[in-house]
Chains A and B, each alone.
Chain A
Protein backbone atom coordinates (compact mmCIF):
# COMPACT_ATOMS: atom_id res chain seq x y z
CA UNK A 1 0.00 0.00 0.00
CA UNK A 2 1.20 3.41 -0.78
CA UNK A 3 0.15 6.80 0.42
CA UNK A 4 -1.35 7.42 -2.97
CA UNK A 5 -3.79 4.63 -2.35
CA UNK A 6 -4.59 5.90 1.04
CA UNK A 7 -5.40 9.28 -0.30
CA UNK A 8 -7.73 7.66 -2.72
CA UNK A 9 -9.48 5.85 0.04
CA UNK A 10 -9.94 9.09 1.84
CA UNK A 11 -11.14 10.49 -1.42
CA UNK A 12 -13.73 7.77 -1.56
CA UNK A 13 -14.86 8.61 1.93
CA UNK A 14 -15.08 12.27 1.07
CA UNK A 15 -17.03 11.36 -1.99
CA UNK A 16 -19.64 9.74 0.18
CA UNK A 17 -19.74 12.78 2.35
CA UNK A 18 -20.13 15.08 -0.61
CA UNK A 19 -22.81 12.95 -2.18
CA UNK A 20 -24.72 12.79 1.05
CA UNK A 21 -24.18 16.42 1.84
CA UNK A 22 -25.26 17.63 -1.56
CA UNK A 23 -28.37 15.56 -1.49
CA UNK A 24 -29.10 16.68 2.01
CA UNK A 25 -28.59 20.37 1.32
CA UNK A 26 -30.54 20.17 -1.88
CA UNK A 27 -33.54 18.57 -0.39
CA UNK A 28 -33.49 20.50 2.85
CA UNK A 29 -33.17 23.97 1.41
CA UNK A 30 -34.28 23.62 -2.16
CA UNK A 31 -37.89 24.05 -3.18
CA UNK A 32 -39.68 20.77 -2.91
CA UNK A 33 -42.39 20.38 -5.47
CA UNK A 34 -42.81 16.72 -5.57
CA UNK A 35 -45.61 15.04 -7.27
CA UNK A 36 -46.52 12.02 -9.25
CA UNK A 37 -45.00 13.50 -12.36
CA UNK A 38 -41.67 14.14 -10.72
CA UNK A 39 -41.47 10.61 -9.53
CA UNK A 40 -42.47 9.07 -12.81
CA UNK A 41 -39.81 7.38 -14.94
CA UNK A 42 -39.61 10.24 -17.40
CA UNK A 43 -39.41 13.54 -15.64
CA UNK A 44 -39.26 15.70 -18.73
CA UNK A 45 -42.87 16.66 -18.41
CA UNK A 46 -44.41 15.12 -21.47
CA UNK A 47 -47.52 13.28 -20.41
CA UNK A 48 -47.37 9.54 -20.43
CA UNK A 49 -49.71 8.08 -22.98
CA UNK A 50 -49.91 4.66 -21.46
CA UNK A 51 -47.92 2.40 -19.22
CA UNK A 52 -44.66 1.59 -20.91
CA UNK A 53 -44.30 -1.64 -19.07
CA UNK A 54 -46.70 -4.22 -17.92
CA UNK A 55 -47.06 -4.48 -14.19
CA UNK A 56 -45.44 -7.58 -12.87
CA UNK A 57 -47.58 -9.95 -10.99
CA UNK A 58 -46.72 -9.99 -7.31
CA UNK A 59 -46.33 -13.75 -7.59
CA UNK A 60 -43.39 -13.11 -9.81
CA UNK A 61 -41.71 -11.15 -7.07
CA UNK A 62 -42.35 -13.94 -4.68
CA UNK A 63 -40.88 -16.55 -6.95
CA UNK A 64 -37.93 -14.35 -7.80
CA UNK A 65 -37.24 -13.77 -4.15
CA UNK A 66 -37.25 -17.45 -3.37
CA UNK A 67 -35.09 -18.20 -6.37
CA UNK A 68 -32.50 -15.62 -5.40
CA UNK A 69 -32.31 -16.92 -1.87
CA UNK A 70 -31.85 -20.56 -2.77
CA UNK A 71 -29.52 -19.66 -5.57
CA UNK A 72 -27.22 -17.61 -3.43
CA UNK A 73 -27.18 -19.94 -0.45
CA UNK A 74 -25.48 -22.54 -2.59
CA UNK A 75 -22.52 -20.19 -2.65
CA UNK A 76 -21.95 -21.28 0.91
CA UNK A 77 -22.18 -24.96 0.06
CA UNK A 78 -19.69 -24.96 -2.80
CA UNK A 79 -16.59 -24.16 -0.71
CA UNK A 80 -17.51 -27.05 1.54
CA UNK A 81 -18.18 -29.36 -1.37
CA UNK A 82 -14.77 -28.90 -2.93
CA UNK A 83 -12.96 -29.49 0.36
CA UNK A 84 -15.31 -31.92 2.09
CA UNK A 85 -12.70 -34.54 2.86
CA UNK A 86 -10.79 -32.18 5.06
CA UNK A 87 -13.60 -31.54 7.49
CA UNK A 88 -14.60 -35.10 8.20
CA UNK A 89 -17.65 -36.01 10.24
CA UNK A 90 -17.84 -32.65 11.93
CA UNK A 91 -18.05 -30.84 8.65
CA UNK A 92 -20.73 -33.22 7.50
CA UNK A 93 -22.82 -32.53 10.58
CA UNK A 94 -22.41 -28.79 10.28
CA UNK A 95 -23.22 -28.81 6.60
CA UNK A 96 -26.15 -31.07 7.39
CA UNK A 97 -27.55 -28.57 9.83
CA UNK A 98 -27.18 -25.85 7.24
CA UNK A 99 -28.84 -28.03 4.65
CA UNK A 100 -31.60 -28.84 7.09
CA UNK A 101 -32.35 -25.16 7.30
CA UNK A 102 -32.48 -24.86 3.53
CA UNK A 103 -34.76 -27.86 3.16
CA UNK A 104 -36.99 -26.60 5.90
CA UNK A 105 -37.36 -23.26 4.16
CA UNK A 106 -38.13 -24.96 0.87
CA UNK A 107 -40.85 -27.06 2.50
CA UNK A 108 -42.15 -23.97 4.19
CA UNK A 109 -42.39 -22.04 0.93
CA UNK A 110 -44.00 -24.99 -0.75
CA UNK A 111 -46.56 -25.59 1.96
CA UNK A 112 -47.47 -21.95 2.14
CA UNK A 113 -48.21 -21.99 -1.56
CA UNK A 114 -45.46 -19.65 -2.57
CA UNK A 115 -44.44 -21.95 -5.38
CA UNK A 116 -47.91 -22.38 -6.83
CA UNK A 117 -48.75 -20.30 -9.84
CA UNK A 118 -52.46 -20.24 -9.79
Chain B
Protein backbone atom coordinates (compact mmCIF):
# COMPACT_ATOMS: atom_id res chain seq x y z
CA UNK B 1 0.00 0.00 0.00
CA UNK B 2 2.86 2.32 0.61
CA UNK B 3 3.52 2.57 -3.05
CA UNK B 4 0.19 4.21 -3.57
CA UNK B 5 1.16 7.38 -1.73
CA UNK B 6 4.83 7.78 -2.36
CA UNK B 7 6.31 11.06 -1.16
CA UNK B 8 6.90 12.09 -4.74
CA UNK B 9 3.27 11.77 -5.70
CA UNK B 10 2.11 13.63 -2.63
CA UNK B 11 4.55 16.40 -3.23
CA UNK B 12 3.41 16.77 -6.80
CA UNK B 13 -0.17 16.93 -5.59
CA UNK B 14 0.75 19.56 -3.07
CA UNK B 15 2.78 21.57 -5.55
CA UNK B 16 -0.09 21.50 -8.00
CA UNK B 17 -2.54 22.65 -5.35
CA UNK B 18 -0.24 25.44 -4.30
CA UNK B 19 0.33 26.60 -7.87
CA UNK B 20 -3.37 26.59 -8.63
CA UNK B 21 -4.00 28.53 -5.45
CA UNK B 22 -1.37 31.15 -6.19
CA UNK B 23 -2.50 31.46 -9.75
CA UNK B 24 -6.09 31.80 -8.69
CA UNK B 25 -5.33 34.56 -6.25
CA UNK B 26 -3.27 36.41 -8.79
CA UNK B 27 -5.46 36.00 -11.82
CA UNK B 28 -9.02 36.20 -10.60
CA UNK B 29 -10.82 39.32 -9.51
CA UNK B 30 -13.83 37.70 -7.96
CA UNK B 31 -13.40 37.80 -4.20
CA UNK B 32 -15.12 34.46 -3.69
CA UNK B 33 -12.85 32.74 -6.16
CA UNK B 34 -9.87 34.41 -4.51
CA UNK B 35 -11.01 33.13 -1.14
CA UNK B 36 -11.25 29.64 -2.54
CA UNK B 37 -7.77 29.95 -3.97
CA UNK B 38 -6.39 31.15 -0.68
CA UNK B 39 -7.91 28.15 1.02
CA UNK B 40 -6.33 25.96 -1.60
CA UNK B 41 -2.92 27.33 -0.73
CA UNK B 42 -3.46 26.39 2.88
CA UNK B 43 -4.69 22.95 1.88
CA UNK B 44 -1.51 22.43 -0.11
CA UNK B 45 0.52 23.24 2.96
CA UNK B 46 -1.59 20.83 4.98
CA UNK B 47 -0.85 18.06 2.57
CA UNK B 48 2.87 18.75 2.75
CA UNK B 49 2.79 18.83 6.51
CA UNK B 50 0.98 15.55 6.82
CA UNK B 51 3.48 13.98 4.47
CA UNK B 52 6.45 15.32 6.42
CA UNK B 53 4.94 14.22 9.66
CA UNK B 54 4.48 10.71 8.33
CA UNK B 55 8.02 10.57 7.00
CA UNK B 56 9.49 11.81 10.26
CA UNK B 57 7.39 9.42 12.21
CA UNK B 58 8.61 6.44 10.27
CA UNK B 59 12.16 7.63 10.76
CA UNK B 60 11.92 8.66 14.37
CA UNK B 61 9.68 5.95 15.86
CA UNK B 62 11.96 3.03 15.26
CA UNK B 63 13.75 1.60 18.26
CA UNK B 64 11.63 2.99 21.05
CA UNK B 65 11.00 0.32 23.56
CA UNK B 66 9.56 1.85 26.69
CA UNK B 67 6.08 3.31 26.74
CA UNK B 68 7.34 6.66 27.96
CA UNK B 69 9.90 7.44 25.30
CA UNK B 70 7.60 6.00 22.69
CA UNK B 71 4.89 8.42 23.59
CA UNK B 72 7.26 11.38 23.53
CA UNK B 73 8.61 10.38 20.19
CA UNK B 74 5.10 9.81 18.94
CA UNK B 75 3.97 13.31 19.79
CA UNK B 76 7.18 14.85 18.55
CA UNK B 77 6.93 13.04 15.29
CA UNK B 78 3.33 13.96 14.83
CA UNK B 79 3.90 17.65 15.25
CA UNK B 80 3.15 18.09 11.58
CA UNK B 81 -0.29 16.57 12.00
CA UNK B 82 -1.03 18.82 14.95
CA UNK B 83 0.12 21.72 12.83
CA UNK B 84 -2.33 20.61 10.17
CA UNK B 85 -5.18 20.65 12.61
CA UNK B 86 -4.26 24.14 13.65
CA UNK B 87 -4.06 25.32 10.07
CA UNK B 88 -7.48 23.89 9.40
CA UNK B 89 -9.02 25.80 12.27
CA UNK B 90 -7.27 28.96 11.25
CA UNK B 91 -8.41 28.45 7.69
CA UNK B 92 -11.99 28.23 8.89
CA UNK B 93 -11.57 31.46 10.79
CA UNK B 94 -10.06 33.03 7.75
CA UNK B 95 -13.01 32.02 5.61
CA UNK B 96 -15.38 33.43 8.18
CA UNK B 97 -13.62 36.76 8.26
CA UNK B 98 -13.22 36.76 4.50
CA UNK B 99 -16.89 36.17 3.89
CA UNK B 100 -17.79 38.90 6.36
CA UNK B 101 -15.53 41.33 4.57
CA UNK B 102 -17.02 40.20 1.29
CA UNK B 103 -20.50 41.00 2.51
CA UNK B 104 -19.36 44.40 3.75
CA UNK B 105 -17.68 45.14 0.44
CA UNK B 106 -20.72 44.03 -1.52
CA UNK B 107 -22.98 46.21 0.57
CA UNK B 108 -20.86 49.29 0.00
CA UNK B 109 -20.13 48.80 -3.70
CA UNK B 110 -22.60 46.30 -5.08
CA UNK B 111 -19.77 44.29 -6.55
CA UNK B 112 -17.34 41.69 -5.39
CA UNK B 113 -14.84 42.48 -8.08
CA UNK B 114 -11.78 43.38 -6.06
CA UNK B 115 -10.36 45.64 -8.74
CA UNK B 116 -13.43 47.82 -8.65
CA UNK B 117 -12.50 48.83 -5.15
CA UNK B 118 -9.81 51.37 -5.88
CA UNK B 119 -10.84 54.45 -4.04
CA UNK B 120 -7.71 54.33 -1.95
CA UNK B 121 -4.77 54.88 -4.21
CA UNK B 122 -1.65 56.92 -5.00
**Any A–B CB pair closer than 8 Å:** yes
Binding site for A on B (CB under 8 A): 7-8, 11-12, 14-16, 18-20, 22-23, 26-27, 29-30, 48, 55, 59, 85, 88-89, 92-93, 95-96, 99-100, 102-103, 106, 113
In the complex, which residues of chain B have a beta carbon less than 8 angstroms from the beta carbon of A22? Answer: 23
- Within A20-36, which residues are at the interface with B (CB < 8 Å)? 20, 22-24, 26-27, 34
Nearest A residue (CB) for B55: A1
Say how far A60's CB is from chain B's closest CB, in angstroms.
11
Q: Which of B19, B20, B59, B99 contacts A18 (CB 8 A)?
A: B19
Say yes or no: is A8 at the interface (Cβ < 8 Å to chain B). yes
Say how far A101's CB is from chain B's closest CB, in angstroms.
12
Binding site for B on A (CB under 8 A): 1, 4-5, 8-9, 11-12, 15-16, 18-20, 22-24, 26-27, 34, 39, 58, 61-62, 64-66, 68-69, 71-73, 75-76, 79
Q: A1-B59, A16-B15 are in contact. List 18 more A-B contacts (CB 8 A).
A: A1-B55, A8-B8, A8-B15, A12-B18, A15-B18, A16-B18, A19-B20, A20-B22, A22-B23, A23-B23, A23-B27, A39-B113, A61-B102, A65-B95, A68-B96, A69-B92, A69-B96, A76-B89
In the complex, which residues of chain A have a beta carbon less than 8 angstroms from the beta carbon of B15? Answer: 8, 11-12, 15-16
Q: Which of B11, B27, B92, B100 contacts A8 (CB 8 A)?
A: B11
